[in-house]
Structures are given as C-alpha cells and as structure tokens.
Structure 1
Amino acid sequence: MPISPIRFSGLASGLDTENIIKELMNAHRIPLNRLMQQRQLLEWQKEAYREVNRLMVNFRKAVEPLRFQGTFLAKKANVSDTTLANVTASNNAVEGTYTLTVKQLAKGASMTSKQLSYDTLDTPLIVNDDQGNPITIPDKIKINGQEVDFTSFKADGKLTVGEFVSAVNAMSSETKVRVSYDTTTKRFFFISTITGSDAKIDFSANIDNADAKKFLEDAIGIIVDPSSLDPSNPDDLKILDQLTGKNAEIVFLGETFQFNTNTININGLTIQLVKDPGGTPITTTITVSRDTDAIYNNIKTFIDEYNKLVDEVNKKLQEPRYRDYPPLTKEQKEQMKEKEIELWEEKAKSGMIRNDSLISGFMAQLRLIAYSTVEPVDSSKWSNGVTNSALKHLAALGIETGSYVDENGKLVYGERGKLYIKDEAKLRQAISENPDDVMMLFTARPNPIDPDQTGTAIDQEHLGLGHRLYNQVNLAISQLSEKAGSVNSLMLVDNSTLGERIKDIDERIARMQDRLVMIEQRYWSQFTAMERALARMNMQSAWLAQTFGGGGQQS
C-alpha cells in the first residue's frame, strides 16, 4: 500500500483543503460502498447456502446406513457368564444358542532376570570375566533372530540399563519382545508382544559363547543353559527359567479349537476371552438374536436428523428480510458500538435464502419421498407377498408426519414435513416380527429396469426409501456446492456460482479503487495549483502595496 505524502494544505487560501477533498471523495465512494455491500450480501448468502449444505451432509450420514441390508441384519450376542468372555455378533452370525467351553487362555512368553545391583536406569551394565577383568559389552545381540544394535545407544563405550531397555524396545516390532527394568526389585522383565505357542524369547550374541554367557548372565541376569554352549554355533543359546507362550483352547459346538490369541473369530462371532479357567475348563452359553434395538436406533437417528434438517431449513426459508438494514460500511462501523454492530448485522444477515426456490425444491422432494410407497418387483421380494404385506410406507411402521395446522386451524410452518414415531410399539413389533419387510422398505434395489436393456435406469417405484433419500440428498449437496462451494472444501479458488460473482465484484472493486486514487490525486493537484496561484497573487499584491504605498509618502 503506497504511503500517503505529508501535505500542508490551505496555507495560501486559508481553506481546509483536506476536509474538502475528503467530502468530495465520499461522494465518489458511494458506488464503491454499494459494491462492497453487494459483496458482503453475497458472502452472507454463500454462508447461508453452506449452512444448509452442512445440514444436508449430516442428514446423509444418518440416512446412509438405511441403504444397506447389513443395518437391518444386525445381530447381538448375550453371554451367560460375562466374566469368562465378551462376545459380539456380526451380521453373518446365525441366530441360535451356542455352548462355549474355555480350557485355557492364550499367553505370551515371559522371562524375569535374577536380582541385579543396578539402582537406577543410568547405571552402566557391568560384566567381568572369571578373573574379574571387564569384558567389552557387545555391539549387537540377537533376540528371536533379529539384531538389536547398541552402537547408537552407547555413551563413551558404556551401555546403561536405560539404554539397553531403549535399544531392545526400539526393535520390538521385529523381535516381538519388550523389556522393562524395575529399580525396586532390581530385575529385568522380558515379555513377548504376541501370544500363542509361537511366542518365544531367544538370545544370541556375536561373540564367543563364554563371553555371551557372561554378558547375558552377569549384565542382564539371564540364566543360560550350560548344555547349549557350543563354540561352533553362537546363535543357539538356550535360556532357563523361561515361560513359553501358549495357545488359547476352547470347545465350540462340540469341537476343540486352538488359537494364538484371546480374540477369536468363529462362525460370525468375535469372542474375547477374559477369564483364565486356571486348569479347570469353564462352560458358558452364547445366545445370538436379531438386534432390534440397533435397527430401531438407526431408524430413530434418521428421523431425528430429518426433523432437524426440516426445522432448520424451514426457519431459514421463512426468515424475514430487513432491506432497511444493509451491510455496514467501514466508516459506519467506526461510529457504532460493538453491540450495536452485532444487532445491526443480525438483521442484515436475516432472510438471505428466504423462499429460495432451489432449497424449497429439495425439501419438497425429500417430503415426497418420505411419504411415498415402495412396491416390490415380485411377491418373492416380500416375506408376506405383495398383496398381504402392508409395510410399503413409513406410516405402516407407526411413523407419521407432523400436522400442518394447529388446533385452531392455523398453519404451523415449524411442523411442516416433520416425521414422528407416533406408535413406538408398532415400529418395534414390525422390526421384531417382519424384519425382512422393514429391510426391503428401506433397502430394496432391483436390477436396472430399462426398456432398451442398457441397464442405466432403475424404476423408482421399486427403489427403497433409503436409496431414494440418499440419492436426493446427494443431488442437493452437489447442486448446493455448485451454487456456494463445498462445505469442507480446502481449495483456495472458489469456482461456485456465488464465488464467481464475488470474484467479479472484487475485480470491479479493484478497478474502482484505482480510479478513486486517480481522482483524489487530481483533486490534490488542482488544489495545489490553486494554492500556488493564490500564493503568487498574494506576493504580487504585497509587492504592489509596498511599492505604491511607499511612493505616495515620498511625494
């Protein structure tokens, strides 16, 4: 931004040139202020469209699960002994009662060192030979066949307890082993990160077996099996006092199974074993049934979000437009208090999308879909057949629309198009007794029906409500994004319809600002020229007065 020059105006004329030019420029800035106000109105309108779009996106999240049969095939599992196992059922689980016997849990390998002398994690590891001479700490050892390199952890050739722990744990994803050191008991605790019979903790070092044995036994406190000392095979040291891993063992439907984890997936069930039977097998019962509560909650969530959408959008479509409250200019804001600005702009922003035809059209389509009927392609699509099944619309589930008029016959805009579960028992009964019919009402999706057999059209009459609503809200989101930009767009360039209009106004504002700068400079040039002319006239007048005034006195 150019720095305004320092001007000393009105020295010759005595006029307040700066204020005169300011008033002249205020008149010239009126078209600019109007453009700025137009731009602000477009920004507010864009925000209003995007807020509706956000509501549409939230509604889409609620209606999306209703397109899929899995939502209506949800199962739940109850366990008679919850202290023994936790069980969840997938949609593929078969309803019925199962017997589960837990014989043992899966366990990992573990090992505890003998008591050592290290008081802190900063204490260096110590290892001496049989004569008491220090033995060099190896640069590397192997745990479960994977190298653990101490080189980058050593300080001054020494390796502290903490550095050993860090080095081992840094390789835990490869070795499947972690270690900790407890300064109270002065012991290392090694534990495998996996469970099952394959879990193990094996050590080897790249030095001769005697030194390796010394390092592991004296520095780390691990007892090496003397029979494994073989100079020709340093990678085959065996550790004593090691607890090996075990598989989980269960009996399910009369068959015995073993797993290397306590989280078991079997027959559509996920079984999380919790309690160790302690050597005595424990039996429990698992009951799998349709999760009617989950289905009900999905339908209720859809209705809640639908009503929220209808309520918020209806309010925006009915908001009054206060045309006597245009956006404030910068100069106007400078003369007002913060609270006054807030109240003014609250009215100025009102009614940005009042009676908007685009949004009204979307809402009308959503209402039409919510009241519509789904016809099956053939009787095999419904458990009760075409003629007998009454579950072809939401009203058959006890879901009805809100009243358009109050008890006095007055139109109630707030309730226009809302859905209500008027009969919860009826809905729950339908879910429990006719789950497939409820599922088809929302999820029916026949093969594309097209007279030309091109497979491009789907008969809307046979399409489930979940698909219809999802398709319609997707269309709304797409067109609102074209109008005002995407809700979550991170793009710096806004190519929406309103974005392009704002960009056009920005260009006009820039041109007008350049023109105003030129006009202001012209005014200053004109007034400066006037001041110079007046200064010359004043000088001439003074000279004439001095000349003729002095001559008259001499005569």
Structure 2
Amino acid sequence: MRIGGLASGMDIDQMVKDLMKAERMKGDKLQQKKQYLEWQRDDYRSMNSALFTFDQMLFDDMIMQKNFIQKSVSVSDSDVAAVNNVGSASEFSGTLEVAQLAKAARMTSGQATNITDPTKKLSEYFGTGTQTISIQAVDKEGKLQEKPVEIQFNLEDESLNSLMEKINEKTGVTMFYDSFTQKVSMTAKNSGDAKGTAEIVLGGDFLSNQLHLSATNLDSANPANQAGQNAKVTLNGLETERSSNIFNIGGVEYTLKGQGKVNYQSSPDVEKVYDTIKNFVEKYNELIGKVNGELNEKRYRSYHPLTKEQREAMSEKEIELWEDKARSGTLRSDFALSSGMNKMRLDLSTPVAGLPKDLNQLSDIGITTSSNYLERGKLVIDPKKLKAAIAKDPAAIHKLFAKEGDVEVVDGKPVVKNETQGLARRLRDAIKGTMEAVEEKAGKAFSVNNTFSIGKTLDRLNDQITSFEKKLFKIEDRYWRQFTMMEKAIQRSNEQSMSLMNYFK
C-alpha cells in the first residue's frame, strides 16, 4: 500500500498511472494482436464447421443410392395390398393374388380363473410359494424358438398384472386378462404356421392349473385355441407362402390386407428425388455465399480490438458496433478458402468422364451457374428440365453425382482420377483438401496451440505478454522508488528550511 505526495503535495499515484499508460501501449498492442488472432482462428473454424456439415449432406443425400431410387407404386386395389419400393433400383410391375392372410397363433383359458382383481397379489387366490413357467413361441421366420423362456416368481410378490407385464416383455407372446369372463388370452407376437409343430408351447403348473391354458395352441380340447397361419399368395404366377403379411422380395415390400387380386406398377417418385437435388443446390449456394462473404468482407484497419480501459469507457452498444468493424475481414482474400471455392466450381463445371455425353454434367439435367457474376458461382435450377431428367432415368442422375472414379497407380500408390469421379465425390475431395489447409492454420476445437500456425503465434504472444508484464512491474516499481526518493529529498529540504528559520527568530 503506497501513499505519495505527503511532502510534495503532488498526486503521485495519478502521475504513476499516467506514466504507466504510455508504458503499457506496447502491451496493449500485443493484447490486441492476440485478440485479433483468436477471432481469426474462430472464424476459420466456423468455415470448417460449415464445410463439414455440407460434406456430411453430400454423403447422406447425394452419394447414397436410396435417395435416387425412390418410387411411387400404383396398386389397383389398396384394400388387398400395398406395394412399396425399399431397395429396387429398376422399375417393376406385376400381379399379386392373395388367397390367404397370415394369422398369429392364439390361446385362451378353457374355463374361468379364480381371479377377480388382477391387481391383487396372486397369493390371495392360490396360496404361497414359488412358481416357474416357460413359454416358447414362433419367431419372425415362422419357426418355433429353440429354447423356451423361463420366468420364476413368488405368488406373494406378484399380481396377475405384474406377471403379464413380464410375460409381454420377455417372451414371444402378448397376454391380457378379461374381467368379464375372468379368462386370459395369449397371442403370438409373430404370425405364421410353424409347419408340423405348435406355434405356442407352455410349461408350468400355474399356466395349466391356475390359468387353465392348454399345453400348446394346437390342443383341440379348447376350441378357442387357434393355429398359426401362413399368408398364401401368387406373385407374377409363382405360388408362395410367407409367415407374415409384410414381406420383402427383390427390394420390393408387400403388405397384405385382404383376399383378392391386384396389379401394381412403379414409377420414379420425381418430387422426392427433385427435393433431394434441390436441397443440395440450396446448401451449396448457402455454403459458397457464406465463404465468399468472408473472403470479400471489408477490413477496417483503423478499428483495433478494444483494450480494457477503452471498453470501460464505452457503452455496450458502442462496444458492439466497434467490434463488428474490428472483427470484420479476418479471412479476407484467404488463399486456402479461395482456392477451395475455385476447385469446387471447377469440379462442378467439368463433365464426368465415362458417362453418356448427354448426361455427364449438371447442365444436362437443368442445373447451371448463375449469369450474375456478383453471385460468384451460385447454381440455378430449371425445374421443368430437372424433373424431366429424373422421370427419364433417376439412376443415371445418381451416377452423375456418385460415380466412383477410376484408379491409377502414381509413384507406386493408387490414385483416383478426379475427372472420372461423380460430382459429389469431387466436391467431397475438394472439401477435404480445403479443411486440411484450414486446420493447418487454425486447428480444431480440441487442438493444442503448437499443432497449428495461429496457435504457435498465440503461444509466442503469450510469452511476450508475460515477459512484458514482468517488465511493467519493474518499471512501475522504479517510478515509485524515484518519486519516493524525491519525496524524501523534499522532506529533508523542508526540515532544513524550518531549522534555518528557527535561527532567525
């Protein structure tokens, strides 16, 4: 704690502060440079984040074939069956005749149980003790499970409701209790005929003696029991059976609803494929708009990051307006980003080698570059031409975007020929190269500073700032020592003056 000016009457503290302001100017410049580099690093990473998001979209939407083989299927009678494409790349049509629907096996209590309230403990109806039950049921393939599922329970701990919850969760059947008849019903979760054996097989005294269920669903002693049944269909003249009413053949999914005969015909789902390509164009335009905005953003060189003292003297709105200009242009004319954008534009305008001449570039499907040079390469869609191309051959459009390139050996290493790759694959390669170049400058969120160029510069600045702060401390201490010496000298002078004056009294 320092108190100055007692002898001189000067505001020593303020004088030291004013002197230190001049000394701190170099330190402020270091802090401002550090802040600017941090802004620049963050802006680079923001660009890489946008590039990564676009890259993921390219893979999910433009590389995956499923987005280009979407089809609408017309069925002559929707009450008999529904037909959907799930994996067929080619068009399809045919007839489907449903002679019999698949049914699930079912079992019901042969007589009423003693249970009147399914929420009460089972011990109130059947005494105490531990019971074990086992349940086997038909699986999704229409075959009886190899091993039964066993459930052990204590009558004092379980109610019928809690036991049925366990059965429904752990086994291949669903079970419910009817309070009117005081019976339980059990149905296999999967439909179908197990062929030569039952579809539900039960074990345990509790199921047979207390709930009055048969040993299998084929027990004819209880007429309420029902055997499982396969669906019987004739598909394009071929008679076949399926354990479920929903099945897949050759990438086409059939959902049976009732008996009868239908004709079906597929056609490209033009609107869905169009929306996929439209989304690609919109995301591409959004990306290059964002990157070009950064590349051409004005740099206000007279606006530097604010120092602590400057921020304290300004309002929040003034700080916001100032920093908008101070942070502007951090990536202006950046070589890595501009090179990446140029390569992406070139990749999209170059025909794909190995494809038919009438369908090897974007313009063939109605996508062209904007004639407005200010938009810097944004894409424009001709909806009518694009939809016509989709209706004609969506698989060919998929190749335009997703074709795998030819490989050649260069210096003993396999290299993919860029001109033979689909447009989306070219863009992904260009994005990868751009992101790597940006990462060399700005790293990633989890990167340490010594692994990228801006980080290394920040480390050097931090060392300089630390060293300068130590130097400032020494300078301030020197100023105080000098003023303290001056105060002592003035004090001695005053004492001598007083002593001399006393001699003249």
Aligned with residue 416 of structure 1, among 376, 401, 407: 376
Give the TM-score normalised by structure 2: 0.80
Gaps of 5+ in 2: 137-147
Aligned to 1:337: 315
Q: Say which SS state the counterpart of residue 96 (structure 2) adopts.
A: strand
Q: What is the alpha-carbon distance in structure 2 between the residues aligned to residue 502 and residue 143 of structure 1?
A: 68
Distance 1:552 1:455, change over 3 A: closer
Letter in 2 for 1:448: V
Q: Which residue does 1:316 correspond to in 2? A: 294
Q: What per-residue deviation string (whole Å, max 9, x for no partner) do you get for residues 415-469 of structure 1?
A: 2211212x333333333335565454434445324588x5723444433333322
Q: Does the 8 Å contact 1:58/1:305 carry over to 2? A: no
Whole-angstrom CA distance in 2 between matches of 1:341 and 1:305: 33
Whole-angstrom CA distance in 2 between matches of 1:241 and 1:54: 63
Q: CA deviation at 1:476?
A: 1.5
- Residue 101 of structure 1 corresponds to which residue in structure 2? 97
Distance in 1 (alpha carbons) for counterparts of 2:90 and 2:35: 60
What amino acid is aligned across from residue 117 of structure 1 in structure 2? T
Pick aligned residue for 1:506 from 458, 462, 473: 462
Match of 1:347 in 2: 325
Within the alignment, does 1:136 sit opposite 2:119 as a pair? no
Give the equivalent residue in structure 2 for 1:282: 260
* Alignment pair present for 1:148 and 2:151: yes
3-state SS of 2:241 partner: strand
- 5 Å-filtered alignment, 1:512-527, equals 512-524=468-480
Residues 62, 301 of structure 1: 8 Å contact kept = no
CA–CA distance in structure 2, aligned partners of residues 90 and 307 of structure 1 = 31
Identify the residue that residue 429 of structure 1 maps to in structure 2: 388
> Secondary structure in 2 aligned to 1:284?
strand
Aligned to 1:408: none
Matched with 1:90 is 86
- Cα deviation for residue 364 of structure 1 reads 1.4
Q: CA deviation at 1:69?
A: 5.8
SS class of match (2:38): helix
Q: CA deviation at 1:321?
A: 0.9
| 1:218-297 matches, cutoff 5 A | 222-225=211-214, 241-242=224-225, 245-273=228-256, 275=257, 277=258, 281-297=259-275
Change (3 A) 1:162 1:354: same
Paired amino acid for 1:55: A
8 Å Cα contact 1:223/1:239 also seen in 2: no
Q: Which of 416, 420, 442 pairs up with 2:401?
A: 442
Is the counterpart of residue 125 in structure 1 residue 108 in structure 2?
A: no
Aligned to 1:29: 24
- Whole-Å separation in 2 of the counterparts to 1:268 and 1:468: 29
1:196/1:125 Cα in 2 relative to 1: closer, same or farther (>3 Å)? same
Alignment deviations for residues 225-249 of structure 1 (CA, whole Å, 9 cap, x no partner): 5x99xxxxxxx9x999555554444
Deviation at 1:150, TM superposition (A): 3.4
In 2, distance between residues paired with 1:182 and 1:494? 72
Percent identity of paired positions between Structure 1 and Structure 2: 31
**1:516 and 1:418 mapped to 2: Cα distance?**
53
User: C-alpha distance in 2, partners of 1:255/1:166?
Assistant: 42
Supply the AA of the counterpart residue of 1:223: H
Alpha-carbon distance change, 333 to 455 in structure 1, aligned in 2, over 3 angstroms: closer
Bigger drift between 312-321 and 438-447 goes to 438-447
Size of the aligned set, in residue pairs, is 484
The letter of the residue matching 1:507 is: D
Residue pairs, 1:512-551, within 5 angstroms: 512-524=468-480, 544=499, 549=502
SS at match of 1:270: strand
Which of 42, 65, 78 aligns to 1:47? It is: 42
Deviations 1:113-145 (A, max 9, x none): 8583327x4x3223456xxxxx21316443443
In structure 2, do the counterparts of structure 1 residues 507 and 246 end up closer, same or farther at CA, with 3 Å as the change threshold? farther
Q: Is 1:38 aligned with 2:30?
A: no
Is 1:398–2:357 an aligned residue pair? no
Amino acid at match of 2:150: E
Within the alignment, does 1:367 sit opposite 2:345 as a pair?
yes
Residue 328 of structure 1, aligned match among 286, 306, 317: 306
CA distance in 1, matches of 2:185, 2:497: 107
Residue type of the alignment partner of 1:397:
I
Whether 2:280 is the aligned partner of 1:306: answer: no
- Match of 1:353, SS state, is coil
How much has 1:542 moved relative to structure 2?
Answer: 10
Query: Does structure 1 residue 481 correspond to structure 2 residue 470?
Result: no
Q: Structure 1 residues 99, 347: CA separation in 2 closer, same or farther (over 3 Å shift)? A: same
Q: Aligned partners of 2:45 and 2:108: how far apart in 1?
A: 60
SS at 2:261 equivalent = strand
What is the SS of the residue equivalent to 1:298? helix
Alpha-carbon RMSD across the aligned residues, in angstroms, is 4.0
How much has 1:356 moved relative to structure 2?
1.6
Matched to 2:371, the amino acid is S
Tell me the amino acid that sits aligned with residue 437 of structure 2: Q
User: Partner of 1:409 in structure 2?
Assistant: none
The Cα of 1:341 is off from its aligned counterpart by 1.3
Q: SS of 1:46's equivalent?
A: helix
Separation in structure 2 between the aligned mates of residue 81 and residue 528 of structure 1, nearest angstrom: 104
Provide the C-alpha distance between the structure 2 equivalents of 1:372 and 1:352, rounded to a whole number of angstroms. Answer: 32
Give the superposition deviation at 1:266: 1.0
Normalising by the residue count of structure 1, what TM-score does the alignment of the two structures yield?
0.73
Give, in angstroms, the shift of residue 293 of structure 1: 3.6
Letter in 1 for 2:116: S
Contact 1:483 1:496 in 2 (8 A): yes
Which residue does 1:57 correspond to in 2?
52
- The superposition leaves residues 39-97 of structure 1 with CA deviations (integer Å, 9 ceiling, x where unpaired) of 22112212222232233223323433444666545444333344554432134354232
Q: 3-state SS of the aligned residue for 2:150?
A: strand
Cα offset for 1:200?
5.4
Per-residue CA deviation, residues 238-276 of structure 1 (Å, 9 max, x unaligned), is 999555554444332233433333431112112344x3x
The residue identity in structure 2 corresponding to 1:271 is Y
Counterpart residue type for residue 509 of structure 1:
I
Task: Map Cα deviations across residues 514-537 of structure 1 (whole Å, 9 max, x no partner).
Answer: 443444455556656666777788
Report the equivalent of 2:140.
Answer: none
In the other structure, the counterpart of 1:232 is none
352 and 110 in structure 1: CA distance in 2 versus 1, 3 angstrom threshold:
farther
2:426 maps to amino acid: R
